[in-house]
Amino acid sequence: MPRPILTDPQRRLAFAALIAGGIAIAFSPIFMRLSEVGPIATAVHRLVLGLPLFWLWLALEQGDGQQRGPANWRDAGLLALAGLFFALDLAAWHSSLGYTSVANATLLANNAPIFVALGAWLLWRERPTRGFVIGLALSIVGCALLSRGGFKPGQSTLLGDGLALLTGVFYSGYFLTVKRLRARFTTAAIMTWSAMVGALILLPAAWASEGVLLPASLAGWFVVLALALFSHVGGQSLITYAMAHLPAGFSALTLLIQPVGAALLAWILFGEALGPLQLAGGFVVLAGIWLARR
């Protein structure tokens, strides 16, 4: 019988960081809804406003035997690839919401753990156990229930659903690239480089597609600043830290706590009440994560 994943203190700490990071990024769609600028421009602020903290973090950290920057062009390429995947993930997700239902976009984008588990198996021979596969299946079913019944063909377009599915693919690429980088690079180095590259890619896209880049009020600036500092600097950094100590597939599956948290926050903040079906879906997702821990 396989041993539980969380058998040592370092992995338990990493798991706690992963959960905390998942909860922090669950606030992302809330901040996105409150933002005064377009979705891609909001994503640009998410990356740019966090950069000063990342630069400071990178300047102050010791490294502890890990690299704080690229030593050659191959390193620079891998760090840039993480930023590219993250930028494509944000652009595809935000664009999909304009062509398909929120339920479809949420469900298809949250298929990322399937691609991560497959990629980890092919790249690093992280063969999933039977318990993990069952936990993954349960969590995907839970996400379908949570997104108010799952896939709705009558409320979608092929383009929107395709973009939502690509979101999962791109996030999987980001996840697997960061997992590879964490073997040699510090969390601060990965976060700094991926944010810089992602911002450089998204800025012209936001300018071309949305035009207005700056919030019009102090409240609007507070929203994008909270998104940058709380969800990205805080949440995404915790996730990147955890990925050095946990299997890739398990980490991606655990992050399905994000749609559960986002649904609960939407209920509390916007009165979007969860019915019995959605509540059951949330519990099924959590049950799948618990089973995957084995």
Q: 42 and 227 in contact (C-beta within 8 Å)?
A: yes
Asked if residue 186 has pLDDT above 60, the reply is yes
DSSP 8-state symbol, 57: H
Alpha helices in 147-275 (DSSP H): 158-181, 187-209, 218-226, 237-242, 248-254, 257-270
Amino acid occupying residue 266 = A
pLDDT in tens, 251-276: 888 888 887 787 777 778 767 676 77
Average pLDDT over residues 233-241: 94
Query: Exposure string (b/e) for 152-167, b if CB count within 10 Å is 16 or more?
Result: beeebeeebbbbbbbb
What residue ranges do the domains of the chain occupy?
Answer: 9-292
Question: Is 79 within 8 Å of 185 (Cβ atoms)?
Answer: yes
The neighbour count for residue 68, using CB atoms within 10 Å, is 15
Contact criterion met (CB below 8 Å) for 240 and 54: no
| CA pair distance 253, 242, nearest whole angstrom | 13
Summarised one tens digit per residue, pLDDT across range 11-52 is 889 999 999 999 998 888 888 888 899 889 999 999 999 999
Ranges of H-type helices in 36-155: 39-48, 51-60, 73-96, 102-109, 112-124, 130-146
Residue 291 has pLDDT above 50, yes or no: yes
